[in-house]
Structure 1
Amino acid sequence: MHSQKWLVAACSLLVFHSAFAQQKPSQPPPSQFPLLLIGASFAEGKTPYHGADAPLGGIAVGFGNYLSLGQALTRHRKLPGYVINEAQAGAGTFAHPFCAPGAATCGPAGWDSYQTQLDRALSRVALPPTFTSYTAKYVVVTTANDCLHADAAGVPQPESQPCTLADMNASVDRLVSVGKFALSKGITPIFDVAPQYDNLDLPKFQSSFGLAWVIGEQDYKQLRTLGATRLKAELPGAIVLDIWKDYTHIGDGIHPDDETAEKAADVIAKHLRKLDR
Structure 2
Amino acid sequence: MHIQTWLVAACSLLLAQSSFAQQKPSQPPPSQHPLLLIGASFAEGKTPYHGADAPLGGVAVGFGNYLSLGQALTRHRKLPGYVINEAQAGAGTFAHPFCAPGAATCGPAGWDSYQTQLDRALSRVAMPPTFSQHTASYVVVTTANDCLHADAAGVPQSESQPCTLNDMNASVDRLVAVGKFALAKGLTPIFDIPPQYDNLDLPKFQAAFGLAWVIGESDYKQLRTLSSTRLKAELPGAIVLDIWKDYTHIGDGIHPDVASAEKAADVIARHLRTLDR
For Structure 1 versus Structure 2, the TM-score category normalised by the shorter chain is over 0.9
Question: 1 CA distance for matches of 2:38 and 2:198?
Answer: 25
The aligned counterpart of 1:241 is 241
Structure-2 residue corresponding to 1:54: 54
SS of residue paired to 1:244: coil
d(CA) in 2 for partners of 1:24, 1:96: 48
Measure, in 1, the Cα distance between the counterparts of 2:209 and 2:221: 22
Q: Give 1:52-201 correspondences, 5 Å limit.
A: 52-201=52-201
What's the CA shift string for 1:63-109, capped at 9, x where partnerless?
A: 00000000000000000100000000000000000000010000000
For 1:29 and 1:15, locate their aligned partners in 2 and report how far apart those are by CA, in whole Å.
26
Distance 1:74 1:116 in 2: 22
CA distance in 2, matches of 1:135, 1:246: 33
Deviations 1:118-173 (A, max 9, x none): 00000000000000001100000000000000000000000000000000000000
Aligned equivalents of 1:173 and 1:22: distance in 2?
49
Pairwise mapping of residues 219-234 of structure 1 onto structure 2 (< 5 A)? Answer: 219-234=219-234
Residue identity (%): 89
Give the letter for the 1:168 counterpart. Answer: M
Separation in 2 of the partners of 1:226 and 1:90? Answer: 21
Runs of 4+ in 1 over 6 A off after TM superposition: 13-16
CA distance in 2, matches of 1:16, 1:41: 51
Letter in 2 for 1:268: I
- CA deviations 1:205-243 (Å, max 9, x no partner) are 000000000000000000000000000000000000000
Alpha-carbon spacing, 1:15–1:98, altered in 2? closer, same or farther (3 Å):
same
Q: 2:260 corresponds to which residue?
A: 260
- CA distance, structure 1, for counterparts of residue 63 and residue 53 of structure 2: 18
Q: Which amino acid aligns with 1:98?
A: F
Cα distance, 1:60 vs structure 2: 0.2
| Displacement of 1:23 | 2.9
> Match of 1:250, as an amino acid?
I
Counterparts of 2:17 and 2:204 in 1: how far apart (Å)? Answer: 70
1-side partners of 2:157 and 2:195: how far apart?
25
**Gap runs ≥5 in structure 1:** 1-9
DSSP 3-state at the match of 2:191: strand
Q: Displacement, 1:43?
A: 0.1
Shift, 1:24, TM fit: 2.1
Measured at CA, do residues 15 and 26 of structure 1 come closer, stay the same or move farther in structure 2, by a change above 3 Å?
closer
2:168 is aligned with what amino acid? M
Provide the alpha-carbon RMSD of the alignment.
1.7
TM-score by length of 1: 0.93
Counterpart Cα distance in 1 of 2:136 and 2:254: 30
By how many angstroms is 1:21 displaced? 6.1
Q: Tell me, in whole angstroms, the C-alpha distance in 2 between the residues paired with 1:185 and 1:16.
A: 38
Distance of aligned partners of 1:16 and 1:74 in 2 relative to their CA distance in 1, 3 Å threshold:
closer
| TM-superposition CA deviations, 1:229-259 (whole Å, max 9, x none) | 0000000000000000110000000000000
Between the aligned partners of 1:207 and 1:145, the Cα distance in structure 2 is: 17
AA partner of residue 251 (structure 1) = G
Describe the SS at the equivalent of 2:189: strand
User: Could you say what secondary structure the match of 2:232 adopts?
Assistant: helix
